[in-house]
Each structure stands twice: as structure tokens, then as C-alpha cells.
Amino acid sequence: MKEAVLIIGAGPAGLTAARCLHEAGVEQVEVLERNLEAGGLPQSCGHPGWGMMDLHRFMRGPSYARELVRRAAGVTISTGVTVTRLLPGGSVEVLDSGGLGTRSASAVLLTTGIRETPRPARLVSGTRPWGVTTTGAFQDMVYIGGMRPFKRPVIVGTEWVSFSALLTARHGGIRPVAMIEEASRITARRPADILARGLFGVPVLTRTRLTEILGTKRVEGVEIERDGKLSILDCDGVIFTGLFTPEATLVRTSHLALDEGTFGPAIDNHWRCSDPAYFAAGNVLRAVEHSGMAAAEGAAAARSVLRALRGDLPRPDEAVRVRTRGALAYAYPQRLCLGKEPIVLRARARVRLKGELRLTADDILLSRRRLEALPERRLTVKVDPAKLGGRNDLTLALE
């Protein structure tokens, strides 16, 4: 196929999509990567836990990243190229070492991934000393930079990535003093906390809030609140983990619709953005799924891109909208082009809640399910188009 496809971001989703498109016979596939190395975030995560779902192997991050690049052989991967603007119809403004230019393609796939929420955006009180960082920066400093930014940090958060910070610390000869979590239980699945205590001797403090960062030049401690009581935790660093957010800056500054729930681009069930020349997949859609799922989405989006190149996708303007209600943070795809195939909606709860997940169309109940929802856990609902008839608005509610 002669049509050109541009993929923005060479992480698991982008590289997997690139490989699939290449294997399907698309000759002009180019991945644009702003960093000097392709591979995305796994590159700086030196401990095992990658590749199980998509490559069926148990790998360290850097090996996984290298393997994704290797499998994309034949695809043009342009590194050191920054996309600065998305223009209507599939032209993008790029910045490479030759200066500013534009590239055009029949389809553009956004796979720009995620980042963690750093300290300022969490509105944390206190001084602003050296030694406050995120897991991503911490891993990059330890695994790639061989640095030891602190010796006794406190880890804020108990998502999966928080335990990844713990493994990184162990690798770097760094001994975290505690993990703290505001909720009454850890966010990651148990028994991660038991492993943390047992294997690493790191206490996991739930119902604990970091209230202030102390120290002038570098972190000298943090003030924490537990059961209404304030105390000082002695430490020399703070790692803010998780609270991921899509790296959707390009979408925010473009003509594409952004979903206020996911903070990523709004898509239909064919991974299409509000401008049908643009597609999106992976964690830029929402925070956060593991790399295997991001890669699988990249592959699925590649299939949709192929169909689009063949003129084989349904018209985007016939889609129905999906709205959320109650305790749901978001649901996507945000628009559905109804065909014969069932469509899977993915959603997340904002808070821990025992309740009912209901899908309705124009106030007619389509499905209901009682469940206990936890934040950071995926909820899935199957939509059967046959049941929908000619109805319009779909609402997914958790109450």
C-alpha cells in the first residue's frame, strides 16, 4: 500500500502498531520519536516484569524495549524528532535538527504515552528542596544514569509503579524508609504490601497523608498525618509515584477533542479521534494500563488504520456518544460506530465503591452488574449493537 502512516511516539503502543502496519504491507510507516532512543518508558525500568502479555516472555524493561524495536525492523524510526503541532487532515508540524517543517500522511497514530503527576501539581505544602522526584525520573537516574539521588526516601503512593520504585531503590542501594498511602488499603493488588514489608523491610503506612516537605537545601524529612495525628518522618528524598496522566499536550493544543474524564483524546471504537485522519492508542488514551495492553491496543489501532486506508471504516459522523454518570472517572471509546460486532467499553471508578454498573440507552436499561469498584482497576462492559436499535445516547453509570 502506497499510503503514508505517521506514528507519534516509539513506545510499546507505537512500535507494535508500526510492526503490524509494516507486516500488513503498508510501505511508508514512519515512527517519530522525540528522544534519541526508541523504546519509550520501559527503557529506564531495569527490573523484570515486561513483555509477558504481548511477547509472552518475562523481560526487563530495556530488553523489552529493544525487542519491540527489533520486531519493527523495516519501519522508519526517526529519533530526535519532536512533533510540535497537529494540523487538520493529518499534517503535523515537526521539529528535527533541520528546523521546523511539516509532514503529511493519510493517517496519523498518536501513541505518546503517559507521565506521573509531579509534586507541584499535587499542591503539596512545604519547602522545595532537592530530592523530590517521580518514579520515572528516579528509575531513569538509577538505571540509566547510575546515580543515587538520595539514600532514604519516602515513597508516596501504592500503585504498581510504587512497588516498581521500591525495586529500583533496591537496585540502586537505596533504602526507602516507608511507603505511604492515603486510602485504607494499597492501590495495587495484594500481596504487594506484604512483599514490600517481608522482602524489603519497608513499612507500608495506609491512612497516611504527606502534609509537608521539610528541608532547606535537600529533603530533611516529611510531615505526615495519620489518624488525625501529625508526626515527622525522617528521610532525605520523596518519590511521588503514580497518579499518571496522559502526555496529551499535542491534543490539548490541537483541533482534536479532548475527554475531560480521561485527559486524553476522545476516540471512537475504531481508535479514531474527532478528526478521522488521527488515531490514538495506548496510555495516551487514559492512565494507566500496563505495557502489554498498550501494545495490544497499538496492534488493534493498526488494524483500524489499515481499514481506513482501504476506505473500509464506517463513517465517523454516524457514531453515538457514550456518557458517564455517578462514580465513574471515565469511559472510552467515547463514541461508537455501531456495526454487527460487540464493542467493549472500558471505564474506571473515581473512588472505591460497592454499587451497580448500568448501561442505558435513551433511558432503556441494556445491562446491569453489581460489583465492588476500586480506583485504578479497569471495568469493562460489552455493548451489543443488536440490542440498541436506532437509539442514540449511551450512558454508563456507577451508583
Partner 1 sequence: MTERASGVQADVFDVAVVGGGVVGCAAFREFTLAGARCVLLERNADLIDGASKGNSGLLHTGFDAKPGSLEARCVRDGYRTYLEVRERLNLPLMATGAILAAWTQEERERLPAIVARAQANHVTDVRQISREELRELEPGVSDAAVGGILAPGESIIDPWSAPFAYALQGVLNGGVVRRSTEVLGGRLVDGIWRLSTSKGSLGARVVINCAGNFGDLVEAIARPSPFTIRPRKGQFVIFDKSAFGLVRGILLPVPNERTKGVVVSRTAYGNLIVGPTAEDQEDRTKATVDRKQLMNLIAQGVRMVPALAGHQVTATYAGLRPATLETKDYVIEALPGQRWITASGIRSTGLTAALGIAKHLRGLYEENFETLAPLGDPVWPRVQNLSEGGPRRAFQAGRAEIVCHCEGVTRDDIEEALCEPLSARSLGGLKRRTRCMMGRCQGFYCSRRVLQIVGERIPDFTLPADSQDAAA
Rounded (10°) CA dihedral 25, 30, 35, 37: 40
Stretch that binds partner 1, among 97-105, 176-184, 307-315, 322-330 (CB under 8 A): 97-105
> Shortest approach of partner 1 to residue 238 CB, angstroms?
10
> Shortest approach of partner 1 to residue 239 CB, angstroms?
12
Choice from 249, 342, 344, 368 touching partner 1 (CB under 8 A): 249
* Cα–Cα distance, 184 to 189 (Å, whole number): 13
Stretch that binds partner 1, among 22-30, 208-216, 278-286, 330-338 (CB under 8 A): 208-216
AA identity, residue 171: H
Q: What is the per-residue burial (b if ≥16 Cβ within 10 Å, else e) of 189-208?
A: eeebbeebeeebebebbeeb
Coarse DSSP helix, strand, coil percentages of the chain, rounded to the nearest 5 percent: 25, 35, 40
Rounded (10°) CA dihedral 33, 266, 294, 28: -50
Q: Does 149 bind partner 1 (CB under 8 A)?
A: yes
Q: Does 100 bind partner 1 (CB under 8 A)?
A: yes
Helix (H, G, I), strand (E, B) or coil at 310: coil
Neighbours of 389 (CB within 10 A): 10
> Shortest approach of partner 1 to residue 200 CB, angstroms?
23
Stretch that binds partner 1, among 186-194, 222-230, 252-260, 342-350 (CB under 8 A): 252-260
Contact map string, positions 150 to 169, toward partner 1, x by CB under 8 A = x-------------------
Give 367's strand partners: 359
AA identity, residue 223: E
Contact map string, positions 262 to 301, toward partner 1, x by CB under 8 A = -x--------------------------------------
- Taking the least distance from each CB to partner 1, the nearer of 100 and 344 is 100
- Integer-rounded Cα radius of gyration of the chain: 22
Q: Does 38 bind partner 1 (CB under 8 A)?
A: no
Residues that bind partner 1 (CB under 8 A): 34, 36, 44, 80, 82, 95, 97-100, 115-116, 118-121, 123-134, 136-137, 140-141, 144-145, 147, 149-150, 211-212, 216-218, 245, 247, 249, 252-253, 260, 263
